[in-house]
Amino acid sequence: MKGTGIWRRVGAAAVLAGAASMVLAGCAAKTPASTSGSGSAHLRVIMNVTPNLTVAFWNDLFSKYEKAHPGVTISLERTGTIQASDKLNQDLAAGDPPDIVQQVTPTAQTVKLFTDLSDQSWTKDTPLVDNYKINGKTYLVGAGQQVQSLVFYNKEAFQKAGLDASAITSVADLTDAMGKLKAAGYVPLQTAGQWVTGAQFTLFNDSTTMTQTPNWIKQRTEGKVKFSEGQYLDSLKTYQSWVEDGYLQKSDLGLAYADGQTNFLNGKSAMYMMGSFFVPAADQAKKSDQFGVFSMPTTGKYPTKQFSNIADSYVVVKQSKNQKAAIDFVKWLTTDKTAVTAELAADGNFRAGYSYKMSSLGDGVQKIVNASPGGFVEAADEQPLTGFSTELTSQIQSLISGTSAKQVAQNLDKWWDSQTQ
Amino acid sequence: MGLTDTVIADARSPRVQPGENAARRKRIRRLKETAVSLGMAGPAVALYSLLMVVPVLVAIYLSLTDWDGFSAADFIGIRNYLHLFTDTNTTHSMWVTLIVVVFGSAFEIGLGLAYALALRQKSRTNSVFRALAYYPHVISALILGFLWNAILGTNGAFNSLLASFGIKPVGFLFEQNLALISLIAVIVWAGFGFNVVLFVAALQTVPLELIEAAEIDGASRWQINRHIVIPMISPVVTVALILNLIGLLRVYDIVVSLTGGGPGGATQTYAFVILMQSFGGTKIGYANAQAVFLMIVSAALALLVTALRNRSDRAAGGEG
């Protein structure tokens, strides 16, 4: 019968499919599982690959650990075009958690994903560890410290404009210097589109605002301060005046981060607000000696506390089946002299007690760190709302495009309040 | 049942049995046919449900929660949907998307139609031009964005050329209004070729006799296109319009690589905000509400266009 034939074939197909899935399941079950001891384990590590921290760099670092710890193998999980945090989300959603993730900052909401490292005594000697504690517990440890609030300058431009970088300590001095640089034929301050626009304003504003009011972000969350009043508004007004005076180029908004940096490296602009990660970029371009650096001027005390963040930071994923091995590896990454020095040197980061061969520009940053009365971070309670950096970038781009400082501040308040409703 | 009844029933049964058997066989055959149909359609229906219906239902459920991707999802009713209209980023992106959809679809359809009408005759040259029009459509939109960024950016090819003559850069990507115009222009350039292919195919179905008759009656080229050709291919135009509208409502990849949503959020489309800010910011519940809203708007637009088209057809039929 025709129908019976079809059913026979359907039944056979179902049996085949079932058998195939059982075989596949069997194969999957036979895949060697990672062992849980530190003696023998395979660790999967999500790392951000950047122009400084290349795949080759990570693999070289891993091989040093593998040689010293027979039985432990480490594989680099590349993130492709996405951030490490997004890759982590994907892996967790797929039920395939990695063991360690680099450059993911836990928040009160995400902390449950990570292993509590508070009982690990070695963590207390790692940089900025206390600043990143959540509810008094340690989840994130790092190898170094990235210094953010820096102004790099072109020595030749300063010479032509008759400027002494060491004399620029206040915002008024900085504005005055921009005028002289413009008169000398330079674009005074380099900016760019993408995230750079918002980040540079943060570096500029926070050096004053966060020094004057160390818990400003917490206060904003509680509604005690606003963007549209006080120091924050003053910073926006200063920025607006720079735009109006032509010290910041509106056309720079059409530049990618790398293009803006290239403009500065090629001497098209005189100053560049950026973090210490500019140093290895200048080193690679073999132009470090052409540039100098000074700490961000403020409207108050100088030098200010350095706006910093933990660098080469790691979390152990709670779902990892290799907890002991993962913690041991993170300990090595953040305390072993060779590993730490390699990480610091690769990304131009700093840490008290650790040194590596630096360029003159790196030495300049080290001197700023040494002279600084301390650091502040934007993490834990002082972490802005999720999405704030994107919103700030958008608003600062609007400011550069002609929106008034007051309107931008009001927009930021409106956005912040809309996110906390 | 008494003995008499049983006897009567037994006596009747041989008389009705042939009819019952035939009916039973018919029922069994129908059941088998239904079972075979279900067996054949079943896998497709199951796959469709698994890949389309279930995700949509999950998205609708998540849109009613505050899920952040990590914690347990708490049911919050329609709060995410209300937030759509108070969130300044989302409302702004709705306006940007509206502009992109209106101007993008108008130009994609208009240019596509004009191009197809100009190239409807079969010739080698026309084939080359048709291929050229379609060419951008086969390249990833992300790549096209990077390509045009390299042309229109401040340090791009065009502005570098201007700079060599001492002319200030044109703000294709850094002036807010111009950036939006640039975005729409690139979208149209990338997308109108698809419409050209659709319209050229549709134009081949227009009977030549009608056009020749109109020409004999002294109709101009414009009159022929306006009153004969375009009405005859209008079902295809409707399909193209719906595809364009839905495609432009979801435009994302070109934005990422061309403008990154800037400057100052001037080119942040609705889909860009969903993917870059809401999903990126682990606001999964809210992102799902945004996505569900987009799905509803897309469906409503498609239905509206189809309804308008049907009404116009009925009106034309009535006139006739």
Ordered DSSP codes for A43-71: EEEE----SSS-HHHHHHHHHHHHHHSTT
Split at pLDDT 50, 70, 90, the class of B318 is low
Q: Which residue has the higher pLDDT, A297 or A380?
A: A297
Instruction: Give yes or no for B265 touching A (CB within 8 A).
Output: yes
pLDDT(A242) > 50: yes
For residue B263, say if its preceding peptide bond is cis, omega within 30 degrees of 0: yes
Rounded to a whole number, what is the distance in angstroms from the first to the last CA of chain B? 70
Lowest mean pLDDT among A30-39, A44-53, A282-291: A30-39
Q: Taking the CA atoms of chain B, what radius of gyration do you get in angstroms?
A: 29
A138 near A314, Cβ under 8 Å? no
The fold adopted by the segment(s) A24-147+310-363 is D-Maltodextrin-Binding Protein; domain 2 (3.40.190)
B258 near B148, Cβ under 8 Å? yes
B89 exposure class (CB count in 10 Å sphere: 0-12, 13-18, 19+): buried
pLDDT tens readout for residues B66-120: 887 767 788 999 999 999 998 888 999 999 999 999 999 999 999 999 999 988 8
User: Residue A100 is inside which H or E element, if any?
Assistant: strand A100-102
**Residues of chain B contacting residue A253, judged by C-beta atoms under 8 Å apart:** 154, 173-174, 262-263
pLDDT number for residue A8: 47
CA separation for the pair A84, A94 (Å, rounded): 15
Nearest-neighbour CA in chain B from A103: distance (Å): 16
Instruction: Give yes or no for A3 touching B (CB within 8 A).
Output: yes
Mean pLDDT computed over B282-298: 91
Question: Would residue B156 be called left, alpha or beta, if left means φ above 0 and alpha means ψ between -120 and 50 degrees?
Answer: beta
pLDDT number for residue A70: 92
Task: Specify the DSSP class assigned to residue B50.
Answer: I
Contact yes or no for A394 and B87 at CB 8 A: no
Rounded to a whole number, what is the distance in angstroms from the first to the last CA of chain A? 67
Dig out the tokens for A58 from the structure.
Answer: 């990570």
Contact yes or no for B169 and A112 at CB 8 A: no
pLDDT(A81) > 90: no
Q: Give, to the nearest 10 degrees, the angle between helix A230-244 and helix A388-400.
A: 40
Split at pLDDT 50, 70, 90, the class of A39 is low
Window 97-126 of A: residues touching B by CB (8 A cutoff) are: 109-110, 112-113
Mean pLDDT computed over A318-333: 94
Domain locations in chain A as residue ranges: 24-147+310-363, 150-308
B309 near A115, Cβ under 8 Å? no
Dig out the tokens for A348 from the structure.
Answer: 């131009």
Q: Are strands A72-77 and A187-190 parallel, antiparallel or unpaired?
A: unpaired
| Residue A249, SS3 per DSSP | coil
Q: Give, to the nearest 10 degrees, the angle between helix B176-203 and helix B230-249.
A: 140
Mean pLDDT is highest, among B2-6, B183-187, B208-212, for B183-187
* Nearest partner of B182 among B172, B193, B194, B195, judged by Cα: B172
Write the CATH number of the domain with boundaries A150-308.
3.40.190.10
Kindly provide the b/e burial profile for residues A28-55, where b requires at least 16 CB atoms within 10 angstroms of the residue's own CB: eeeeeeeeeebeebbbbbbbbbeebbee
Mean pLDDT rounded to a whole number for chain A:
86
Task: Specify the DSSP class assigned to residue A137.
Answer: B
pLDDT(A24) > 60: no
Strand intervals (E) in A317-386? 375-376
Mean pLDDT computed over B23-47: 90
Lowest mean pLDDT among A33-47, A75-89, A393-407: A33-47
Q: What percent of chain B has pLDDT over 90?
A: 51
Q: What percent of chain B has pLDDT over 70?
A: 91
**Residues of chain B contacting residue A105, judged by C-beta atoms under 8 Å apart:** none
SS3 content of chain A, % helix, strand, coil (to 5): 50, 15, 35
Distance of CA A211 to the CA centre of its chain: 20
User: Taking CB atoms and an 8 Å cut-off, how many pairs form between chains A and B?
Assistant: 116
CA distances in angstroms from B151 to B148, B201, B290, listed in the order given: 5, 33, 33
Mean pLDDT computed over B41-45: 90
pLDDT(A34) > 80: no
Q: Are strands A100-102 and A187-190 parallel, antiparallel or unpaired?
A: unpaired
Strand order in the sheet with A150-154: A187-190, A269-274, A150-154, A291-295
B155 exposure class (CB count in 10 Å sphere: 0-12, 13-18, 19+): buried
**Residues of chain B contacting residue A187, judged by C-beta atoms under 8 Å apart:** none
A77 near A44, Cβ under 8 Å? yes
User: Residue A308 is inside which H or E element, if any?
Assistant: strand A306-316
pTM beyond 0.80: no
User: What one-letter code names the amino acid at A87?
Assistant: K
Dig out the tokens for B107 from the structure.
Answer: 């130009």
User: Which candidate from A255, A397, A421 shows the least CB-CB separation from B264?
Assistant: A397
Contact yes or no for B171 and A86 at CB 8 A: no
Task: Specify the DSSP class assigned to residue B52.
Answer: I
Split at pLDDT 50, 70, 90, the class of B22 is confident
pLDDT number for residue A17: 42
Instruction: Give yes or no for B177 touching A (CB within 8 A).
Output: no
Q: Which residue has the higher pLDDT, A23 or A295?
A: A295
B203 near B233, Cβ under 8 Å? yes
pLDDT(B10) > 70: no
Question: What is the three-state SS of B180-196?
Answer: HHHHHHHHHHHHHHHHH
Mean pLDDT computed over B157-186: 93
**Residues of chain A contacting residue B174, judged by C-beta atoms under 8 Å apart:** 193, 250-254, 401
Nearest-neighbour CA in chain B from A327: distance (Å): 22
Q: Taking the CA atoms of chain A, what radius of gyration do you get in angstroms?
A: 25
pLDDT number for residue B281: 66
CA separation for the pair B292, B290 (Å, rounded): 6
CA separation for the pair A399, B268 (Å, rounded): 17
User: Which candidate from A3, A253, A414 shows the least CB-CB separation from B32?
Assistant: A3
| Residue A373, SS3 per DSSP | coil
Nearest CA in chain B to A9: B39
Distance of CA A398 to the CA centre of its chain: 24
Q: What percent of chain A has pLDDT over 90?
A: 55
pLDDT number for residue B16: 55
Task: Specify the DSSP class assigned to residue B136.
Answer: G
What is A213-246 written as a DSSP string? STTHHHHHHTTSS-TTSHHHHHHHHHHHHHHHTT
**Residues of chain A contacting residue B80, judged by C-beta atoms under 8 Å apart:** none
Residue whose entry in the numeric block shows the structure tokens 């308008």: B308
CA separation for the pair A260, A274 (Å, rounded): 11
pLDDT tens readout for residues A399-410: 999 999 999 999
pLDDT number for residue B6: 47
| Residue A134, SS3 per DSSP | strand
* Nearest partner of A311 among A168, A102, A160, judged by Cα: A102
User: Which candidate from B70, B168, B263 shows the least CB-CB separation from A401?
Assistant: B263
Q: What are phi and psi of B24, to 5 degrees?
A: -65, -45
pLDDT(A36) > 80: no
Q: Are strands A41-46 and A100-102 parallel, antiparallel or unpaired?
A: parallel
pLDDT tens readout for residues A92-115: 777 788 999 998 888 877 888 899
Q: Do domains A24-147+310-363 and A150-308 have the same CATH topology?
A: yes
| Residue A312, SS3 per DSSP | strand
